[in-house]
Amino acid sequence: MFKTMVMYKKFLFLLLLVLLGSACNKKQQKPPCAIQVCTDIFATITIKFLDKNGNQITVNNYTAVNQRTHELLHDNRFLVPGAYPPYYDVADDGDLKKISTEGDNILVTGTDPVTNQTKTAILKVAGGCTCHVTKVSGPAFIAFD
């Protein structure tokens, strides 16, 4: 009987050790997004570029890069040929899960095709567990000299 009791205590001790060890090794996961009612609109954050005279222009080498993840969100490929005025996508609802709920800094870059001057700006955009991407801060346009 004594031997059975010792084996039982060893078993309980090992079981406790395994449980404690596995609890320490679990990676903390983000809690899932709360259930919310969202509209069916498709939100887009855009920016435009202005030449030195204040006219909207089409730029070369446009990019919008999330500075937290270094992921390219949008570039020239997303432009509609011949669309005017030329607005550029910074982020849209398709990027919602690529952007944190608190907001990420998005680096926007474009080059004036006439002067070859490159300008950048940072827009803070929130996404994540929200219904739609929203601009937290940043300019509405980038002006070339």
**pLDDT tens for residues 19-71?**
555 555 445 555 678 888 889 999 999 999 999 999 999 999 999 999 999 99
Encoded tokens for 115: 């002067």
Asked if the structure places residue 21 within a domain, the reply is no
Is residue 130 situated within a structural domain?
yes
Q: What is the pTM of this model?
A: 0.73
- Residues found in the chain: 145
Q: Does residue 125 fall inside a structural domain? A: yes
Domain-embedded: residue 8? no
96 domain residue, yes or no: yes
**Domains in the chain, number:** 1
Query: Does residue 140 carry a pLDDT above 80?
Result: yes
2 part of a folded domain: no
Domain that holds residue 126: 44-143
Mean pLDDT of 91-105: 94
Flag whether 85 is in a domain: yes
Which of 48, 54, 33, 46 is CA-nearest to residue 130?
A: 33
The pLDDT of residue 76 is: 79
Pair of tokens at residue 142: 């980038």
pLDDT of residue 116: 96
Q: Residue 6 falls within a domain, yes or no?
A: no
CA distance 144 to 50: 6
